[in-house]
Structure 1
């Protein structure tokens, strides 16, 4: 998934309203993989643009296959998929984020993964889990992402600190030292409110041992672990270490470059943004794993590749996805996009094995946690967003804010 992609829980209702009653039936006899045919593929955002180049290479090696790639913007991807599902016009292969999986599996439009061809053990656990719904895999992990801590090493040295923070106390001590000794405006950039605030909160919640919904499908956001995490998160705002008001479209990379913000949680794409957009920072920043409470656990993101239940080209689609997700294909995809490989074997050689910063991401992915594949996950996390905002703005205690969220979420997961 992209950094801001969301799914709308109304998708199922919309699809049903459009008459989606027969999805899940076979599209007819499957065309053999070696027969001449055209595969339709939808890929989102930047991946949609890059995949067309890979498809050309694939076609040269497989002249019987024409791969028709349609790039789709993430802002319209959900609605296009819902409409296609309702009309029975899903592409043979589609890119799908974990937050879509529960919804579209419930609609009955996804083909279960062939687990003889795609083995769970070849992928990061959280990457595989993003494609699962109720224990059934519907998506093959294509790429993954997670969040790690970015920090200014030069400003840390000015503040008298020469190593990355490893736990919550060290992270807050560094944030304080940045302000008091290095003269930064803020100590740590974390989101105070608004859409997807929960993505910044996950590093605190999961590291404390908390969850929003547990493996049994029960709401547990008011647990002692979650309360502890939100208290810690809120303390950055009550102590003036983090900005209570962040404008829409805020560019943390710019403030990281000018020194107003010396520390933030970011994804792998921030490496490229910093190298290309803030070249003056070369050698003055580093990444570190999420500081621990009970452990170091970050959120898992990324995308999977799914096959339409009604596709008549399942065999060819399976072979194309195999090409994209084996170790060689994953290493090639990283070179083209800088998307982190979901296949762990791709990390054992080349740049991925030798780059110390990338290995920080790999270590974080080893423990990263995937969100539950619930059709209404967006509604669930919206309640957590609201609770976080109450605390960061000083309008409620962590206990009271999460008690309210717990009650709201219980009504959504019954």
Structure 2
């Protein structure tokens, strides 16, 4: 971790020196004779995106789009190298937790001065959680491409057997249902909680009224709202409602009923349909059970323009095209990822679908992770602390005190 952070600091220094030696105007000058837009897109999206670019090229004669598909496992290092060298694409895809890191490094073009010409990029056009991600230090550093959020997946038949004819709606109901399901017998559980998932503890915290104050560098991990949420999180393991060990794959465990409830995103719908056919008609999804709120996480990806792109005008045209409702719905068909604009959700395909409509409701109450470049490190520290409680029997209060100190130190770096 320390070596990686030192490398990043070195790269930031190189970027600053590079920026000082460049003419600012040249970075925003799209008058280049090269009308090819280079796009770095990650994973499967990079492979599928080419299906959208042909239409854009037909509508914008003379502009070509060169999509380079980059595997997720090598994407972060490739982006760091691009920042250091100043040799990046015109447009790059970023996972939501990466935006603060690369924005802090100055790698992303501030789109603020282009907003009058492109009002379609205004933050109010997107879900609130997505609007949080596209902004950093009063700059507009990316346009939400697609979004995702977590909801509750549950076995309707097994919940009915323990007295729930619909999904649990509150913390109390979720805890009660999970305990009753776990009491069915040996190797039976109620709620699967992936202890490697860094966002679940924060979801519980948001539901309990927690919020950070990053403007004043206060993470607020010592507040009753956060501590209470961690008590709730660990209670599922303490009561035996959630399995401490990794155990059986969740797809199989959900299909055979050992783990009748879990949290996941929209990608899981197709996975269950394909890999758990025997459970067809026996499961559904619901918005998150809540306490103060029913909040969930806002995930997905943004499209940003690299800070020294010499093809900004054409890059903006491409972002505008990707932002259109029609394009977002076409991307939904291609990739099964969700549109980032509420306007797109007015389409009957989303409104009338029993699964999609639940995700649409949850997106209205979804929050972005902490918008700091240190989020990943902080989240991993939290998971380590919670694992020591769940698996090792450590004292939660002591672990949270140490975690709060460690997290504040990380934020101060």
Q: Using structure 1 for the length normalisation, give the TM-score.
A: 0.91
User: Aligned residue for 1:224?
Assistant: 224
**Aligned match of 1:346:** 344
1:11-410 → structure 2 map (5 Å cutoff): 12-16=8-12, 21-23=17-19, 25=22, 26=24, 27-28=26-27, 30-32=29-31, 37-113=35-111, 114-116=114-116, 117=118, 118-181=121-184, 185-192=188-195, 195=196, 197-211=197-211, 214-246=214-246, 251-410=249-408
**What CA distance in whole angstroms lies between the structure 2 residues aligned with 1:129 and 1:289?**
21
2-structure distance, mates of 1:29, 1:390: 50
C-alpha distance in 1 between matches for 2:340 and 2:6: 30
Q: What is the Cα deviation at residue 343 of structure 1?
A: 1.2
Q: Separation in 2 of the partners of 1:338 and 1:353?
A: 15
Distance 1:29 1:278, change over 3 A: closer
Kindly state the Cα deviation for residue 223 of structure 1 after the two structures are TM-superposed.
1.1
| 1:47-88 deviation line (CA, Å, top 9, x unaligned) | 111101111222122231110000011111111011011111
Count matched residues. Answer: 401
Q: Is the 8 A contact 1:144 1:303 kept in 2?
A: yes
**2:296 counterpart SS class:** coil
Show structure 1 runs of 5+ residues with no match: 1-7
Structure 2 contact 178–190 (Cα < 8 Å) conserved: yes
* Superposed CA RMSD: 2.1
Kept after mapping to 2: 8 A contact 1:45/1:72? yes
Q: Secondary structure at the match of 2:65?
A: strand
Tell me, in whole angstroms, the C-alpha distance in 1 between the residues paired with 2:170 and 2:379: 26
- Given that 1:212 and 1:220 are in contact with CA atoms closer than 8 Å, whether structure 2 keeps it comes out as yes
Contact preservation (8 Å) 1:124, 1:344: yes
State how far apart, in whole Å, the 1-side matches of 2:31 and 2:325 are: 25
Q: Which runs of 5+ in 2 are unaligned?
A: none
- Hey, what's the Cα distance between the residues in 1 that align with 2:346 and 2:99? 29
Whether the 8 Å contact between 1:41 and 1:93 is mirrored in structure 2 is yes
CA contact (8 A) 1:186 1:262 kept: yes
Counterpart of 2:367 in 1: which secondary structure? coil
Q: Match of 2:258, SS?
A: coil
Contact 1:20 1:85 in 2 (8 A): no
